[in-house]
Amino acid sequence: MEQIYLFILRNDIWIYIVCLLGLFWYGSEFFRAQRTLRSAMFGLERETGTRMRNNAILFILFLGTILGFVYFVNSTIAPNLPIELLQPPTATPDIFKTPLSSPTPLSSPVPSPTPPLVPTITLASELGSAPVVSPDEASSDEIIVTPTFTPGPTPTPAVACTLEINISDPREGSTVRGAITFTGTAVNANFGGYRIEANGPQTNGEWASLLGRTIDQPVQDNILGNANLSQWEAGPYLIRLVVVNPEGVDLGICVTQITLSN
């Protein structure tokens, strides 16, 4: 019912105008019917005049009722309606007037992203020795400190990782701890298997297998294997992925460096 009241309140002026025009028209029709009845000499004329008069009276009563109802709504019901109901409706955006972005030309080629290559590192062959200051060269009030170095992994030749042989996670230079999941790619036209090895403080400069065996299934941008290094000594480690052929001959090697912080 509130929607009917709201419609009347928002369009009351037009309702008044239409009803007044209708009353004027049917009022004139009523008087014309009365003149017809007064001057009628035949039964058909009287019947036509009576029908015109009855129609005019019916529409005059109908339009008068509408005018009275609209006036009643404005004077009695409108003051008691909620204020938020009388607020103007929120404008609806016209989607046809909203500017659209220009379409992408069909002939424009879309460049395909190039997968990033895993960088290759080269470590120094030996760690430098810190100079030792003898007690004779130091003054009596100085404290002699001799740095202690932790031996790093045995150096390996720099080997380029490729799209067919790479370790994407852990990333080069990242710091890890505990259980590690190695992700990457190990495929080759003459694929026979792959293995993952580590070289660092825990292995005393030797390459140690992290998976315990050679995996004979190729992997394309997926999990290569898992290793729990929670009991290993912390420090820098070289991680290498080796792909071999069915005879066990190395086909390619990818080497990255990570830091273990257990």
CA distance 115 to 131: 45
Judge whether 67 lies within some domain: yes
Residue 197 domain flag = yes
Q: Do β-strands 193-199 and 235-244 pair in parallel, antiparallel, or remain unpaired? A: antiparallel
In a domain, 34, yes or no: yes
pLDDT of residue 139: 46
Tell me the CATH number at 206. 2.60.40.10
**The pTM is what?**
0.41
In a domain, 153, yes or no: no
Residue 121 has pLDDT above 50, yes or no: no
pLDDT in tens, 75-93: 888 777 776 665 665 656 5
Residue 188 in contact with residue 251, Cβ under 8 Å?
yes
Sheet holding 208-209, edge to edge: 175-176, 250-260, 235-244, 193-199, 208-209
CA distance linking residue 192 with residue 249, whole number of Å:
9
Number of domain units in the chain: 2
Task: Examine the fold and report which residue of 86, 102, 127 is the final residue of a domain before the chain moves on.
Answer: 86
Lowest mean per-residue pLDDT among 60-74, 77-91, 143-157, 212-226:
143-157
- Let me know: does 255 contact 215? Beta carbons within 8 Å: no
Judged by average pLDDT, the poorest of 45-54, 143-152, 220-229 is: 143-152
Give domain status of residue 126, yes or no: no
User: Tens digits of per-residue pLDDT, 39-70?
Assistant: 877 878 888 888 998 999 999 999 999 989 98
* Strand partners for 182: 225
Rounded to 5°, angle at Cα 229 from 226 and 230: 125
In whole angstroms, what separates CA 194 from the centre of its chain? 37
Q: Please state, in angstroms and rounded to a whole number, the distance separating the CA atoms of residues 218 and 212.
A: 17
**DSSP-derived pairing of the beta strands 165-169 and 193-199:** unpaired
Task: Judge whether 180 lies within some domain.
Answer: yes
**How many DSSP H helices and E strands does the chain contain?**
4, 8
The more confident residue out of 30 and 82 is 30
Q: Are 133 and 164 in contact (CB under 8 A)?
A: no
Identify whether 151 is part of a domain.
no
pLDDT for residue 147 is more than 60: no
Amino acid at 185: T
**Is the predicted pLDDT of residue 157 greater than 50, yes or no?**
no
Residue 102 pLDDT grade (very low, low, confident, very high; cuts 50, 70, 90): low
Tell me the C-alpha distance between 205 and 24, whole Å.
111
Classify residue 97: in a domain, yes or no.
no
d(CA 201, CA 232): 8
Query: By residue range, what is the domain housing residue 58?
Result: 2-86
Claim to verify: residue 82 and residue 169 sit in the same structural domain: no
Residue where a domain terminates, one of 40, 57, 86: 86
pLDDT (average), residues 17-29: 92
* Boundary (domain end) residue, out of 86, 119, 144: 86
27: which 2 tokens? Answer: 């009022």
